[in-house]
Every structure is written in C-alpha cells, then in structure tokens.
Amino acid sequence: MIEALLSGCGAFLLALALGRPVVAWLRARKVGKSISIDQPSTHMVKAGTPTMGGIFIWGSVAIATLATNLFELRDGAIVLERRSMLLPLLAVNAMLAVGVVDDLGSLVGGARKGLSWRLKFALIAILSVVVACTMFWGLDAQSVNLPVGGGRHELGYVYLVIAFLVVFGTTTSVAITDGLDGLLAGLAAFAFGAYAVIAFVQGQAFLAVFCLSVVGALLGFLWYNAHPALVFMGDTGALPLGAALSVVALMTGHWLLLPVIGIVFVSEALSDIIQIGYFKFTGGQRVFRKAPLHNHLELIGWSEPQVVMRLYLFGMVAAMVGIALALSV
C-alpha cells in the first residue's frame, strides 16, 4: 500500500506542476469553453475559461504509471510485467482522443460544433465492446462478487453483455456529471479512492496503485479547477474518467457496487433520462427546472459551491458504504 500511496502523492505533485504551464498554454491559444444556452444564466461568466484540462490529469497518471506500475527491472533488463494495466490505459487513451476532438469543437468562436451525442454514444459503445471482450477472453473475467457475504459467482457469456453495459453506462454518467467547478474531479477522486481500497484488500496492488495515481492527479487538477475555476477538464478529462472507473470496477469484480460508490453519477444520469422522457411524454412539461441534477439544484437557490460541497458529502458517504459492502464478502 505504501507504493500506491507514494504513487498518488507523485501524481498529485506532477499535476500541480503541470497545471500552471498547461493552463497558460491553453489560454494563450484561446482554447476557451463556450457556454451552452441550456446552462443556467449564472454560468455565462465562465465563457472563455480554458478547457481540455484533462490533458494534465492523464499526463500525470501516464507518467506515474510508466514510472511505478507497468515495468519491472529484472536481471538488469526492463520487462513489461503488469500487462493487465494496459486495459485501463487503452480505455483512457481511446476516450481521451474522443474528448479532445469534442472539446476542440466547443470552443468560443469555433467554426464547428462538438461531436453529436449520437456519435459519442457510438464511439463509447465500440470501446465498451472492446473492453468486454478483453475482460472475458484476455483476462478470463466472467464473474461477479456479491456484497454482504454473497461470494463470487460465474456468469459465463452473460458477462459480456454486463461488461458492455457497465462501461457504456459509467462513461456516459460520469461525463454528464461534469458541469460545475470541482464537482466531477472531487466525486471521481472519492470513487477511485474507494476502489483503491477494494483492490488492495483483494491483493491487486497494481490496480490500487493505478487508482491512487488517478486520485492524486485529480487532487492536483482541483487546485486549478476549484471555484472559480481557472480551467475545465472538458470531455478530454471526463470521458476517460468514466471509462477508467468502469474498467477498474470490472477488474475488481465489484461492478455491482458502482451504483453505490457512484450514486451521484447515477443520480445525474437518471435526472437527464427522466427529464427527457417526461418532456416527450407530456409534450413539453418538465420534472426538473434544468437537467442534469446539479443545474436543478442551482436553480432552486443553492450556490455553486453549496451544490458541489453537498454532493461531495454524498460521494464520500457512498464511497465508505461501498468499501464496507465489499469488505463484508
């Protein structure tokens, strides 16, 4: 666990060091976020804030992983030993590429728009298929760990469908949550922290190191993303976060705990689904003032820092409950 904690500290310091020059570079190149008219009017002052801050989140994780969690020195030679760690890195890089393209299309004064949700869903679905097949045939994962003393149960080919849904659902839910200063970074840090503990208890030290590297990088990013944000992570950060979290959950076998540990992500996604469904069913009526949930909470009178901090509290408690359920097996 010492190695995992040190890796997290290293990723934090890397993100902290990379953040200032990256933010300055993004600002100099006018990589400023345009604000959708669907957002609360109070968000319009954020127009032009640099986006694509996910670059230094994942840059920090990549450096920490290459330095501590992918290769081993054996008989004087550097050997690729921890091959299973290539899967979360593959998921991160795939969604990072999608996020960069989408963010470049959502800049202030940009000549084109970001990717449509239909195309993004298709690309996320392709990644979900790849991850599901790799887990099943590459890592021989076909089971689920049931919480509260339920043990491990083999699922056979049903696992392929479930793994697809886990990756697709988590990636989209996490991306939807990104919308307020510091909100997603903090909530994701709690979730990865919870899975770091679960992985370590299972003896998956390498996975715990990866999780805490992500936590450290997110904390470093929060230095610049805390309200009022100097930079947004954009889909460059949000899409890879969801993909990586889903892969980590699958690798621990505790993917059933994702809706618990990620209760805020689930609530945000459900609020969007309910709003759209109810709007279409009733011909224009709404359940929430604006979806997703964090926008609704702002519009009923909560300040942005209040929304973030109160959702943090749910995220922290959910992470503790998830760990408790996992350890009860």
Q: In 16-112, which ranges are E strands?
A: 71-74, 77-80
For 87, the domain range is 2-327
Cβ-defined contacts of 107-110 (< 8 Å, 24+): 107/30, 107/31, 107/32, 107/33, 107/34, 107/51, 108/30, 108/32, 108/33, 108/34, 108/47, 108/48, 109/30, 109/34, 110/34
Interior/surface letters 6-45, b for 16+ CB within 10 angstroms, e for the rest: ebbbbbbebbbebbeebbeebeeeebbbbbeeeebeebee
Q: Would the CA dihedral through 41, 117, 271, 100 be positive or negative?
A: negative
Nearest to 189 by CA among 213, 162, 173: 213
Please give the tally of structural domains in the chain: 1
Q: To 5 degrees, how large is the angle CA 11–CA 12–CA 14?
A: 60
The first and second tokens of residue 196, run together, are 């770091």
Return d(Cα 6, Cα 63) in angstroms, integer: 13
pLDDT score of 109: 56
Averaged pLDDT in 10-residue chunks for the chain of 329 residues: 81 92 86 65 70 90 81 55 81 93 74 76 95 91 80 88 96 93 95 96 90 96 92 92 96 94 95 90 84 90 93 97 88
Which tokens is 173 given? 């839910």
Tokens of 176: 């939807």
Give the DSSP H or E segment for 169.
helix 158-177
- Strand boundaries in 90-168, DSSP class E: 143-146, 151-154
Identity at 168, one-letter amino acid code: F
DSSP string of 90-105?
Answer: HHHHHHHHHHHHHHHT
